[in-house]
Amino acid sequence: MPAELTTAVQFRVSTILLFRAIIQGFPEEFNDAEKNSPIGNIRPYVTKLLFRSLVSEPPEAVASSASALRCATTLGSRNSKNFLSKEMIQTCIKPILLALRDFRTLSLPLLKGLLRLLGLLKNWFSKSLGNKLLEHMSKFTNPGESSRHI
């Protein structure tokens, strides 16, 4: 990890890498833990951290969260229970999708995070989301034209 990163960022990236190692090293224990167990209690927080970091800065946090989510989606498909349940994914991506409602709130980190998210979870999204994203991108790249249509 680069030394020029702040201590807080180094801690965040290290925490994400630790969670990835736990998910990768102990997938059954992590994925199948009962909700009221110590591991089951932290699983939703870990998931939210990974998704939130996916659309943030710095690039080191983004890369480590993408790696952890890739690991979780790969291992989850081989296990009886999935670390990324439909309800958990909906809860975690809701803030990202809400940010997409208004093209004026689009930012480069958000769009890059969305690209990673769509790559990781491509089977979870419908084609209508792609059409909506294209519409927003058109408005984003040509903001003057969209104000004429309002």
- pLDDT tens digits, 40-55: 888 888 988 898 888 8
Most confident of the following: 6-10, 30-34, 100-104, 142-146? 6-10
Higher per-residue pLDDT: 5 or 11: 11
Centroid of chain to Cα 96: 9
pLDDT at 150: 44
Pairwise CA distance, residues 111 & 107, whole Å: 6
Cβ atoms of 69 and 122 within 8 Å: the answer is no
Pairwise CA distance, residues 60 & 12, whole Å: 9
What does the domain layout of the chain look like in residue ranges? 7-148
Confidence of residue 1 (pLDDT cuts 50, 70, 90): low
Higher per-residue pLDDT: 16 or 140: 16
Q: If you write DSSP's letter for every residue of the chain in order, what string do you get?
A: --TTS-HHHHHHHHHHHHHHHHHHH-HHHHHS--TTSHHHHHHHHHHHHHHHHHTSSSHHHHHHHHHHHHHHHHHHTTSSS-SS-HHHHHHHHHHHHHHTSSGGG--HHHHHHHHHHHHHTGGG--HHHHHHHHHHHHHHH-HHHHHHT-
Place of tokens 């199948």: 32
Q: Could you report the per-residue pLDDT of 72-95, keeping only the tens digit for each? A: 777 655 544 556 777 887 888 888
| Residue 144 one-letter amino acid | G
Confidence of residue 131 (pLDDT cuts 50, 70, 90): confident
Q: Judge if pTM exceeds 0.75.
A: no
| Residue 76 one-letter amino acid | G
Cβ atoms of 11 and 64 within 8 Å: the answer is no
